[in-house]
Amino acid sequence: MQGNPCAARPGDAYVVAMSSVVANYPSSASDARAELLAFAGRPAGEPSVDSRPDLIGLEREALTEALASIGLPKFRTGQVWHWLYHRGVTDFQEMTTLAKPLRAQLAETFRISRPAVVTRQDSVDGTIKWLLRFADGNEAETVFIPEEDRGTLCVSSQVGCTLTCSFCHTGTQRLVRNLTPAEIVGQVLVALDHLGGYPTGGPDRRLTNIVLMGMGEPLYNFDNVASALKVIMDGEGIALSKRRITLSTSGVVPMMARCGAELGVNLAISLHATTDPVRDELVPINKKWPIAELLEACRTYPGVNNARRITFEYVMLAGVNDAPEDARRLVGLIEGIPAKINLIPFNPWPGSRYECSDGDTIERFAQIVLKAGYASPVRTPRGRDILAACGQLKSESAKLTRREARTAAAE
């Protein structure tokens, strides 16, 4: 770990403890079972399930219902919400505006979860990547990217991804499941824990933006992502507004309108190609919803206008999609859509079959796009030294197939 700008590092002792475990990932099913049980610092072999319902990730109405189940009136929701999300407490005893017997009653009935931090890696450029482990032993990664005027958290929506984009490391991960609202909100809470982010909303807050650009396809897990984002956007808690949140999709066309209407967040589209045959190869979901249908859904995305543009992400792959005619086709395709174009240099990963376009090719491409009137920032890869850049995320869960994990958990 190097160049860490953060004084408070609550996960560190645990990181040290767990990193050796990660390095020696289980080779047999019984080892795997011990691993699955070893999350959250518990010794292997002890019961791993806390059966108390979790309060994290419940939308306000659901929290009210949960509290009503132990006879608490509605006004308690706001109080508990404040402590959970504005102050970030993980222990009911810290809810000092509540009477002690009430705190005890809450602690008996409910829990306040956090994913366990398996490892935290700090890049030389200030990027931080956390490998998080959830209650069933599955893992996902979350990345914090500090910039001069903002700090962006890149959040995962699934363990792995069912889609198999040929240039993306996450797409090679075999084990996939949706993350729950608590697990999605939990990534933000862990980051705030580590960044000294409470109380939230301070003038010098470090975490200012969220992008759903980590592992997984968020629109294949819409309900859980929507619940999580509603919690994250609530003004009395984490309080990150919809304007500061961007959801990236590979193009799940039927879910895009709902995303705009119900959440109103910014949309980013992983376009990456300008013809269907090439996009079929790079982003196989294109076979289901080809470019024309995808762009039609963009034209009608609720709330899109010149102030709220759709971002088109375009990964630069040498000799595949980076010719000047691709650039010209690209601007032709998106004509009439309030848009930004984000050129992403391809980030290689072990075993990847592509190469990144060279600097001159990217520059030539960017100039064509710019001349057509679109801002086309080239995304600077961040955290490359810790494999935290776009498309490099892949958790250790990859090493177990679904069946292996089931067997391990059942033993």
Q: Applying CB under 6 A, which residues contact ligand SF4?
A: 161, 163-165, 168, 170-171, 216-217, 250, 270
Shortest Å, Cβ 44 to ligand SAH: 33
* One-letter amino acid of 300: T
Give the nearer residue to ligand SAH in terms of CB position, either 189 or 315.
315
Give the nearer residue to ligand SAH in terms of CB position, either 77 or 249.
249
CB 211 within 8 A of CB 154: yes
Give the nearer residue to ligand SF4 in terms of CB position, either 55 or 317.
317
Dihedral of the alpha carbons of 10, 13, 17, 23, in degrees to the nearest 10: 60
Shortest Å, Cβ 240 to ligand SF4: 22
Positions in the binding site for ligand SAH (CB under 6 A): 161, 165, 167-168, 213, 217, 248-250, 270, 313, 315, 344, 346-347, 390-391
Instruction: Estimate the share of the chain in helix, then strand, then coil, as percent rounded to the nearest 5.
Output: 40, 15, 45
- How many beta carbons lie within 10 A of that of residue 346, not counting itself? 23
Catalytic choice (161, 165, 259, 390): 390
For 116, the enclosing helix (H) or strand (E) is: strand 116-122
> Which among ligand SAH, ligand SF4, none contacts residue 266 (Cβ within 5 to 8 A by kind)?
none
Give the nearer residue to ligand SF4 in terms of CB position, either 96 or 164.
164
Give the nearer residue to ligand SAH in terms of CB position, either 187 or 250.
250
Strand order across the beta sheet in which 139-146 lies: 116-122, 128-133, 139-146, 151-154, 209-212, 245-249, 266-270, 310-316, 339-345
> Which among ligand SF4, ligand SAH, none contacts residue 315 (Cβ within 5 to 8 A by kind)?
ligand SAH
Catalytic choice (141, 217, 281, 396): 141
Burial, 258: exposed, middle or buried (Cβ in 10 Å; 0-12, 13-18, 19+)? middle
Known catalytic membership, residue 141: yes
Shortest Å, Cβ 402 to ligand SF4: 17
Whole-number Å distance between alpha carbons of 220 and 262: 16
* One-letter amino acid of 397: S
Shortest Å, Cβ 317 to ligand SAH: 9
Whole-number Å distance between alpha carbons of 46 and 26: 18
Shortest Å, Cβ 145 to ligand SAH: 13
Active site residues: 141, 390
